[in-house]
Structure 1
């Protein structure tokens, strides 16, 4: 009899986590060893259960899930990670690759495709559809052009760049305010100014911008 693949689910919202768990438990080849809604719980859970893979829904994470993903990759580099993503995260794919992610499953994929992806990463293979490879190639081309022709927007002030860096670390308005000795309201004002200057709409866009322009280096 084929042994089951043990996985843990990293999902911020219990409702979505229970849906993923129901799908996986219906498979004869996958067993859900546990669920976590925050990074500390996840790290403890992985230590306790030693899963074959981690299913990580970054759709419900702030800042494209990069901060918790770094922690997982640093502490458990041997455990494959399967990300649940959307096309809007294509600009972050190269960062995900660099952090050792072994597969992507899109939010509009079927239950069967999710199960197949988990089986593949658990067996040591990558799971990247042609669609993902296309996004990755396009992203690399943009990054190569960016390294030679793009520079960080000079209109951002030093304080705005500091705020941007801290948002990339996943800090809250209050935490950023404490570090910079300003109020959360002032942090929010800086964020709105950054979005306006860069002609962007969300924190995820800001994070992508920071990574592409190597502001975090």
Structure 2
């Protein structure tokens, strides 16, 4: 026999919350144990009703953002989160998933899909559209490339890093040589090595790369 899903709904607007409650009332395996319109109210409801899932409408959240989700995930890591989202939140999908969100329901999904999502997440599964999975995989690959790029910066020697930082300050070969107690010709040698390692062609590109990849920090 299928276990009941005890649901707490976070929705800033009572009209939408009432609509969700009506939809979920069509299922005899889902019970709405509370509805919250503020984060503080939501936290109290979770503590009082012990839900098996939290439905969080990120679209109509007045203070929508990562902070409230992080707070909930930190306080109740054992309770899965199901977000109601729109395509316009795509840039945040990977962040939501990393916070522990187990599924998305889109604002254009059907009531039947909403019920199915809740049942799947309550059963210990996740619920994501294929395009969300693809987006998340692309984000992971992008992050790996970024990390690889930053790791490649470590191939610069300490001296090369010092030279690069001084170029970013707009100093000339002579001024850099004076500061580092080396000749301008040696500065030129270091610069060529930097260009080669960073795979750029000019001083301007080198400086841009340094700022973009936070080599100066």
TM-score (norm 1): 0.64
Residue aligning to 2:187: none
Is residue 2:122 matched to residue 1:122?
Answer: yes
Secondary structure at the residue paired with 2:31? strand
Secondary structure at the residue paired with 1:59? coil
Alpha-carbon distance change, 140 to 15 in structure 1, aligned in 2, over 3 angstroms = same
CA contact (8 A) 2:12 2:62 kept: no
- Deviation, structure 1 residue 86: 1.1
**May I ask how many residue pairs the two structures share in their alignment?**
152
Distance 1:10 1:72 in 2: 11
Secondary structure at the residue paired with 2:12? coil
Provide the aligned C-alpha RMSD in A: 2.3
- Deviation, structure 1 residue 145: 4.7
Is residue 2:136 matched to residue 1:136?
Answer: yes
TM-score (norm 2): 0.64
CA contact (8 A) 1:6 1:32 kept: yes
Q: Please show how residues 19-30 of structure 1 align to structure 2 within 5 Å.
A: 19-30=19-30
Residue aligning to 1:174: none
Distance 2:116 2:30 in 1: 10
Distance 1:121 1:37 in 2: 22
Distance 1:123 1:31 in 2: 14
Is residue 2:62 matched to residue 1:51?
Answer: no
Residue aligning to 2:61: 61
Long gaps (5+) in structure 2: 151-212
Q: Which has the larger radius of gyration?
A: 2
Residue aligning to 1:90: 90
CA contact (8 A) 1:91 1:139 kept: no
Distance 1:16 1:147 in 2: 42
